[in-house]
């Protein structure tokens, strides 16, 4: 009798492990897993189209957490810092932490606005005209990208360059016009209709 109990226990462990493993794997949707080997920007676009929002990003750890509020699923995307290729997508069981991260991210994203900023003065308008004359088009602006300073991003898709105009919020005083990486020319948080 004792020997039958000893035989059943390992079988129960195997069956339990099988169901736990299958349940965990089933929680990472196939369409999410399909972003592995994609470029990070393509993978991010795909996740957004599937209803996921970024809730944490660590470029030192080379990973991002994405949360789908409707499905209550959080996934961690790991990528190569050099090639920006997605290496792995795994289920993140810390959903409450992901929810908190999403709420914090949304507060930041509220500062991003498509189109031209509702600011005008002679120097800012002069800088806008210079950029427009060079083939740049306004993409988006950020309200207080740093304390007291806002910026407007201009993109030239032909030359694949992005410029930004920065001004002090107090008095709308122009500070500088500078170049930045082309990838920053697209609004990372477009407003959803």
pTM score, two decimals? 0.54
Same domain membership, residue 116 and residue 105: no
Looking at the 3D structure of the chain, how many domains does it have?
2
Same domain membership, residue 153 and residue 81: no
Same domain membership, residue 78 and residue 100: yes
Q: At 107, is the pLDDT very low, low, confident or very high (cuts 50, 70, 90)? A: confident
Res. 20: pLDDT tops 70: no
Specify the CATH number for the domain of residue 121.
3.10.450
Instruction: Give residue-wise pLDDT tens across range 148-165.
Output: 999 999 999 999 999 999
CB 165 within 8 A of CB 120: no
Tokens 């004792």 identify what position? Answer: 2
Q: At 109, is the pLDDT very low, low, confident or very high (cuts 50, 70, 90)? A: confident
Distance CA 165, CA 163 (A): 7
Domain encompassing residue 73: 2-109
In-domain check, residue 192: no
Cα 112 to Cα 116, 139, 153: the distances in Å are: 11, 11, 11
Same domain membership, residue 86 and residue 8: yes
What local confidence, expressed as pLDDT, does residue 9 receive? 42
Same domain membership, residue 101 and residue 56: yes
Same domain membership, residue 144 and residue 133: yes
Same domain membership, residue 133 and residue 166: yes
Instruction: Give residue-wise pLDDT tens across range 90-106.
Output: 999 998 999 998 888 78
Res. 65: pLDDT tops 50: yes
Same domain membership, residue 153 and residue 136: yes
In-domain check, residue 166: yes
Same domain membership, residue 160 and residue 117: yes
Q: At 187, is the pLDDT very low, low, confident or very high (cuts 50, 70, 90)? A: confident
Q: At 75, is the pLDDT very low, low, confident or very high (cuts 50, 70, 90)? A: very high
């Amino acid at each position: 009798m004792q020997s039958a109990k000893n035989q059943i226990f390992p079988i129960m462990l195997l069956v339990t492990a099988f169901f736990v493993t299958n349940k965990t794997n089933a929680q990472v949707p196939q369409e999410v897993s399909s972003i592995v080997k994609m470029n990070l920007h393509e993978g991010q676009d795909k996740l957004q189209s599937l209803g996921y929002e970024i809730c944490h990003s660590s470029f030192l750890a080379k990973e991002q957490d994405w949360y789908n509020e409707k499905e209550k699923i959080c996934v961690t995307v790991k990528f190569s810092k050099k090639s920006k290729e997605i290496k792995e997508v795994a289920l993140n069981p810390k959903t409450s932490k992901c929810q908190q991260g999403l709420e914090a991210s949304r507060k930041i994203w509220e500062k991003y606005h498509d189109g031209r900023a509702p600011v005008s003065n002679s120097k800012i308008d002069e800088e806008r005209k210079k950029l427009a004359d060079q083939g740049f088009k306004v993409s988006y602006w950020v309200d207080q990208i740093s304390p007291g300073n806002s910026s407007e991003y201009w993109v030239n898709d032909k030359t694949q360059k992005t410029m930004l105009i920065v001004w002090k919020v107090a008095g709308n005083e122009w500070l500088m016009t500078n170049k930045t990486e082309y990838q920053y020319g697209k609004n990372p948080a477009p407003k959803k209709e």
